Amino acid sequence: MIKLIGVRKIFPGRNGKEDVEALHDINLAINENEFLTIIGPSGCGKTTLLRAIAGLVPIDAGEVLIDGTPVRGPGPERAMVFQNIALLPWDTVLANVAFGLELRGVPKDEREERAHKFIRLVGLEGWEQRMPGELSGGMQQRVGLARALAVEPKVLLMDEPFGSLDEQTRRLLQEELVRIWEATRTTVVFITHSMEEAVLLGDRIVVMSVRPGSVVEIVPVPLPRPRGGRIDTVGWSTEFLAITAHLWTRLRDMQPDLVRSKEALAGVSS
Amino acid sequence: MRSVAVSSDVRERIIESRWTYRLIAFLLFAGAWQIFASLAGTFFVPTFAETAIATVRLALDGHTWEAFLLSNQSLVLGFAFSVALGIPIGLAMGRFRGAEQFTDVYVNILIVTPMAALIPLLLMSLGFTLASRVILVTLFAITMVIVNSRAGVRQVDVALLEMARSFGASEWQIWRRVLLPAALPAIMTGVRIGLGRAITGMVIVELLMVSVGIGNLILRFRGVFEYDRLYAVVVLVVIEALVLINVARAFERRATPWVAPAGIRS
C-alpha cells in the first residue's frame, strides 16, 4: 500500500522569479492491487506527484510511504512507464525489455528468458531483434510496458503512457493494458489527461485541482470487471458516460478563466 | 538492336552509380585545369597531365615514402594524443560542472587561437624536435575532439537518463549504458574532423617550423621551380587525407549503426 501524507513540492523560482508550489498538501492512500488513475488540468502537478512516488524528485514536506517505508529514491518495487517512452535507440527490443534486469545484475540468459516472456505478453513476439527506430509508436510503448513489467514491480507508475499515441492505437493499448493488468493485478498509478481513459482503466479516479495541485475528489468507478477484451462495450454504457460527464464538469469548473462566457462571445460577434 | 536490350540493365546501373557522377565531376575539373594551365603558358602552373605524371613518378619513388613516413610520425602520435586526451576531457566537461568551469576558458582559447601563432613559442621551448611537431598536431586536432565529445554528452536525451535512474542505475551504469552510447556519434564525428585537422597540422608544422618530410619536399621542389612535383606532393597529401577520412567514416558507421546518416546519403 502506498500512502501520501501531506506531500508538498515547491520548485524554487530562478533569476528572482517567485517560487512555484506544484503540490499542496496531498493526502492519498493507494490500495494494494488497485488501478488508480489521476486526472487534472494541465500543469496541475500530476506528473510531479508520480515522480515523487517514483523517487525521482525530492519532496519538500510530508512523506511518501510504500508499505510503511518512506521513499528516498527509486526502488526495485517500483517501475515506471514514460510518456516519451524513453527506449535506448542503440539496443534491440530484447535488450531494452531486459534493461531493468540488467541494471540489477541478473545474468544474461536469465534476463533474456524473462524478457521473452514479457515481450510475448505485450504481443511483440518475433520483434525481439528489431531496433526501436523500426517500430511504430504504439509498438514502442508496448516495449516500454514490457520493460517495466519485466522487473516484476509491486507498483507500476504510468505517466500518460498513451498520451503521444493516436486515438486508435491508444484504444488498442488500453484494451491490452486492461487485459494484462487483470491477469497480473499489480498496483498501478496511472496519470492521464483523458477522462474516458481515466474511467475505462481505473478502479478509482483522483481528480486534482489547478496549481498548486491538491486532491479535490476521489471518484469510484463501479464498472464491472473484467473489463478486458472489448472495453469499448464498457465505453458506451450509461454509467461510463455519467462518470465521464461528471469528471468533465469538475475539470471545466476548475478553470473558469479558460471558459469564455456567452457575454464575451456575444461581444466579439456584435 | 539486341545489344541495346542486353546492356540497358548495365546502363541503368551506370546512371544510378554515384561513381558515375564523381567521375564526371573529376573529368570536368581535370579538363578545366588542363585548359587553364595550357592557356596560362607559365611554368608556375603545371598542366593536369604534367601533374598526374609527376604524381605517379613521385608515388613510385622510395624517397617520397620515406618523407611521408617521417611526417606521419607526428600525425599518428598527435592524433592518438588528441583522441586519448580529448575524449575524456570533453566527456567530463559535458557531465560535470566542475570540470567544465576548470577547463572551459582553456578550450575557448584553443578554439580561437590561430595555431600557427603558437609555432614560435613551441620552437623556443622545444626546438626542431619530433615533440614540438607532435604537440602542434595535437593542438590542431584536440579542440574538435573535445568540443564534439562535450556536445555529445550534453545532448543526451534527459528522458533516457531519468529512465535509467528510475530503474536504479548507478552513475557507472548510466555512463556505460546511456551516456557513452548516446554520445558516441558525436564523439566519432569529433574524431573524424580532428583527423582532418591533424593532417593540416602535420603539413603546416613542416612548412613553417621543422622542415622535414612532406613539408620539406614541398619547400625543396618550390626552391628548384619543379612545380609539377610540388603539386604532385599536394595531390599525394590529399589522397592520404581522403583515404584516412573515409576509413574513419566507415568506422563511424559501423560503430553507430542506429544513427541515420545525416545530410546527403552517400
C-alpha distances out from residue A152 to A72, A177, B161, B183, Å: 20, 15, 21, 31
In this structure, the answer to whether residues B143 and B238 fall within a common structural domain is: yes
pLDDT for residue B259: 80
**Cross-chain Cβ contact B181/A100 below 8 Å:** no
**pLDDT band at residue A266 under the 50/70/90 scheme:** low
Which pLDDT value is given to residue A269? 57
Run of H or E residues at A25: strand A20-30
Based on the domain organization, do B170 and B75 belong to the same domain?
A: yes
| CB-CB neighbours of B63 under 10 Å | 9
The answer to whether B164 contacts chain A (CB < 8 Å) is yes
pLDDT for the residue numbered B218: 87
User: Based on the domain organization, do B10 and B82 belong to the same domain?
Assistant: no
Q: Indicate the number of domains in chain B.
A: 2
What is the pLDDT averaged over residues A185-211?
A: 92
Q: Does B264 score more than 50 pLDDT?
A: no
Is B208 found in the same domain as B100? yes
The pLDDT tens digits for B15-42 are 777 888 889 999 999 999 889 888 887 7
Q: Domain check: are B11 and B105 in the same one?
A: no
Each residue's pLDDT tens digit, A128-168: 999 999 999 999 999 999 999 999 999 999 999 998 888 88
Closest-CA distance, B246 to chain A, in angstroms, reads 23
Domain harbouring B147, CATH code: 1.10.3720.10
Nearest CA in chain A to B168: A74
Cβ A90–B168 below 8 Å, yes or no? Answer: no
Closest residue to B168, CB basis, from A74, A82, A86: A74
> In this predicted structure, what is the pLDDT of residue B261?
53
Is B8's pLDDT higher than 60?
A: yes
Residue B171's closest chain A neighbor by CA? Answer: A103
Of A256-265, B117-126, B194-203, the least confident:
A256-265
Q: In what order do the strands lie in the sheet with A20-30?
A: A20-30, A2-11, A61-66, A69-70
CA distance B93 to B100: 4
pLDDT at residue B97 is higher than 80: yes
Q: Is the pLDDT of residue B175 over 90?
A: yes
The predicted pLDDT at position A37 comes to 96
Tell me the pLDDT tens digit for each residue of A57-66.
Answer: 999 999 999 9
Looking at every residue in chain A, the average pLDDT score rounds to: 89
User: In angstroms, rounded to a whole number, what is the distance separating the alpha carbons of residues B263 and B154?
Assistant: 22
Report pLDDT for B78: 95
Determine the straight-line distance between the first and last CA of chain A, rounded to whole angstroms. Answer: 57
Instruction: Tell me: do B83 and B28 sit in the same domain.
Output: no
| Across A204-208, A229-233, B144-148, least confident range | A229-233
Closest CB to B258 among A75, A104, A131: A131
Cell, residue A126: 518475433
Above 80 in pLDDT, residue B14? no
Same domain, B119 and B202: yes
Who among A80, A89, A133 is closest to B166 (CB)?
Answer: A80
Query: Does B255 or A159 have the greater pLDDT score?
Result: A159
Task: Find the domain containing B10 and state its range.
Answer: 2-40
Residue B87 belongs to some domain of the structure: yes
Query: Do residues B191 and B94 share a domain?
Result: yes
**ipTM (interface pTM):** 0.88
The arithmetic mean of pLDDT across residues B85-113, rounded, is: 86
Residues in chain A: 270
What's this model's pTM, rounded to 2 decimal places?
A: 0.82
Which three cell numbers mark A72?
A: 528516498
Q: Which of A181, A83, A200 is nearest to A140 (CA)?
A: A83
Chain B residues with CB under 8 Å of A89 CB are 258
Domains and CATH numbers, chain A: 35-51+70-77+153-269 (3.40.50)
What is each CA distance from B79 to A63, B142, B166, in whole angstroms? 54, 8, 39
Contacts of B182 in chain A (CB under 8 A): 90
Mean of pLDDT over chain B: 86
**A47, containing H or E segment:** helix A46-54
A267–chain B nearest CA distance, Å? 45
Mark yes or no for CB contact B177/A99 under 8 Å. Answer: yes
Residue B265 placed within a domain: no
Is B169 in the same domain as B68?
yes
The dihedrals phi and psi of A84, each to the nearest 5 degrees, come to: -90, 20
- Cβ contacts of A130 on chain B, cutoff 8 Å: none
Q: With CA atoms as reference, report the closest residue to B195 among B126, B249, B149, B233.
A: B249
Distance from CA of B189 to the nearest CA of A (A): 17
Q: DSSP letter for B226, please.
A: -
- pLDDT, average across residues B218-245: 88
For A217, phi and psi rounded to 5 degrees? -160, 145
Q: Is B159 part of the contact surface with chain A (CB cutoff 8 Å)?
A: yes
- Is the model's pLDDT at A79 over the cut of 70? yes
Give the pLDDT of residue B263: 40
Query: In terms of domains, do B191 and B250 share one?
Result: yes
Q: Do A89 and B258 touch (CB under 8 A)?
A: yes
Mean of pLDDT values over B121-134: 84
Q: Is the pLDDT of residue B7 over 60?
A: yes
Cβ distance A90 to B256 less than 8 Å, yes or no, reads: yes
> Which of B167, B171, B254 is the mutation pick for testing A, counting most A CBs within 10 A?
B167
B94 and B10 within one domain: no
Report if residue B264 sits inside a domain: no
User: What's the rounded Cα separation, in Å, for the pair A92 and B224?
Assistant: 62
Pairing between β-strand A187-192 and β-strand A35-39 as defined by DSSP bridges = parallel
Q: Does B258 touch chain A (CB under 8 A)?
A: yes
Pairwise CA distance, residues A44 & A143, whole Å: 28
Identify whether residues B13 and B67 lie together within a single domain.
no
